[in-house]
Structures are given as C-alpha cells and as structure tokens.
Amino acid sequence: MDKNPQAPETPAPSPSAPPAIEDYSKPVAWDQYGRPLYARPEDVPAQQMVHISRAIDPKAEPIPPEIMQKYEESKKKYPQLNLSRGEYIILAVKRHPIGLLQIWAVVVFIMVAFGGLFAVLARSGATSSFALFGSSEELTGLASLIMLFMFALTLAGGFIATYIYNANRFYLTNESVIQEIQTGLFSKHEQTVSLLNIEDASYRQNGIIQTMFNYGSIRLSTEGDETTYRFNYVTNPKQHLATLNNAVEAFKNGRPVHHH
C-alpha cells in the first residue's frame, strides 16, 4: 500500500476560459457610450437599472376631444373621403369658375356655328336639291329636327364637362393632401400624399388673366420617389400654399395644425 497517496489531480483550466470574476458588483467592460457592463444583471446597482414594460396589446394614444369633434364634422361633411381617426379637413379647394366660362364659351360657339349653317342652307334654297327625297317643307322640318338634336347634344356635352370640371377637388387635412381626380363621366380616382413626405410645395400664376382673376396652379413634390402632383385652376393659390406649408411644418414638428 502506498503510504504517500497522491492527491487527485484537478483539471488544468482551459486557456480559452475567461478569468474568474471575484467581485460581480464591479463592471467588466464598457459599451460604446461609456456605460458599464456587468457580468450578472442582479449585480447592477439599483440606481443604474432601468425597467421597461411593454403592453402585449398597446393601446392607441388618446386623441383630444376638440380634434375628434373636427374629425366627426369632416366625416359628416365629406363622406366620400377615407379619413383616418383624428384626421380632419383644413382646406377644401374647388376649381376657379373661370374654367367653366371656357367650357361654355365653346358650347355657345358650336351652337352658333350650327345655327348659322342651318340659316345659310335654308336661305340659299339648298333643300330644293333633295326634292327627290320629299317636299321642301318636309326636308326643312327634318333639318330642323337634326339641328335641335345637335343643340341638345352640345348642351349635354357642356353639362358633362361642367360636372367633370367641378368634380376635381383638392383637400388639405392635418395629416395629408387628398386629390380627387375626375377624368371622365365614369372615370375617377383619388390620390393621397402624407404631409410627412412632402418635400417642396410651390404655386404658379402665368399671364395677365391668371393674375387678374387670382388663380393658378399648386405643385407638390415628394421625397424619395420624386413624384410631382399638380392641381390647376386654384383660387388664390398663394394663400392656400401658405396654409399648406404651415400644415406640413406643424405635422413634421409634431405640433397641432390650426384651422384658419
């Protein structure tokens, strides 16, 4: 029997193993901002610990009553618009009526042209050349019916053009710009641009007519995709642009937008 038994060998520490930590209350490293890092979270001093709790189903932030009142009023007044909760209309811009004068000037010109042509044909006795198709009185009555039909068709075209012209509208809300675009009697679409994405807004008045009647166009450009939006025949574009720029600035800075 060996009188000097050797003590059991203890395994040598791995060269890659981290050194033993004697005091866990002291930081072992610092992050990029100079804040201490500890080996065990329970050893972090109480004054340096931050507890963050997060709701499983976070609730939406409450909207002030005056904002909700404006939202409800806008929904009732403009039911065709898809407004988000708390979004309300600041500006509802219609096209300037001078565009309607241009439409009806064309209508009147066409009707006068048709009436003049009918009068010339009736005075020259041109209907006598078609005597084989009936008497002069019958042909004159038929020509009159054709002229009435053309007049009615021209008037209908004028009313349709008026409807399409007036259906194009521009809305400014406390969150976005909404443009209703009507290109035909049954062709309509809506485009919405967030105020956060508007990079530049400007207006333009060309010529003495636009300056005299105080109308022009408003142009918006967005960040990123560099999309440009334009709304023509805007009444008092300078004032509307000032309101738009104020809304964009307030939205980006988190301030409430006031309706003037």
**pLDDT tens sequence across 94-125:** 999 999 999 999 999 999 998 888 777 766 65
The phi-psi region of residue 140 (left if phi > 0; otherwise alpha if psi is between -120 and 50; otherwise beta) is: alpha
Is residue 21 domain-resident? no
Q: What is the pLDDT of residue 19?
A: 56
Q: Which domain holds residue 107?
A: 99-165
Q: Does 58 reside within a domain? A: no
pLDDT value at residue 219:
92
| Same domain, yes or no: 160 and 105 | yes
Claim to verify: residue 143 and residue 177 sit in the same structural domain? no
Identify whether 57 is part of a domain.
no
Q: What pLDDT sits at residue 222? A: 87
Which pTM value belongs to this model?
0.65
- Shared-domain flag, residues 206 and 237: yes
Residue 44, CA distances (Å) to 41, 48, 53, 112, 122 in order: 6, 7, 18, 92, 106
Domain count, the chain: 2
Residue 208 and residue 120 in one domain: no
What pLDDT is recorded for position 36? 72
Inside any domain, residue 50:
no
121, 233: one domain: no
In this prediction, residue 53 carries a pLDDT of 53
Model confidence pLDDT, tens digit, residues 50-96: 555 555 555 666 788 899 999 999 999 999 898 999 999 999 999 99
Which segments in the chain show pLDDT lower than 50? 1, 129-134, 260
Same domain, 155 and 183: no
Give domain status of residue 34, yes or no: no
Position 138 scores a pLDDT of 62
Angle between helices 136-167 and 98-124 (to 10 degrees): 170
In terms of domains, do 91 and 190 share one? yes
Closest listed residue to residue 160, CA positions, set 232, 235, 106: 106
- Do 90 and 240 touch, CB atoms closer than 8 A? no
Does 234 fall in a domain?
yes
Grouping H, G, I as helix, E, B as strand and the rest as coil, residue 204 is strand
Do 175 and 91 belong to one domain?
yes
pLDDT at 131: 47
- 246 part of a folded domain: yes
Say whether both 190 and 91 belong to one domain: yes
Query: End of a domain among 126, 147, 165?
Result: 165
Task: Verify that 118 and 193 share a domain, yes or no.
Answer: no
CATH code: domain of residue 215: 2.30.29.30
Within a domain: 185: yes
Do 133 and 179 reside in the same domain of the chain?
no
Q: What is the pLDDT of residue 185?
A: 87
Q: Which of 165, 193, 222 is the last residue of a domain?
A: 165
pLDDT value of residue 133: 46
The last residue of one of the domains, among 145, 165, 185, is: 165
The tokens for 233 are 């025949």
Cα 113 to Cα 106, 108, 152, 196, distances in angstroms: 11, 8, 14, 52
Residues 91 and 207 in one domain: yes
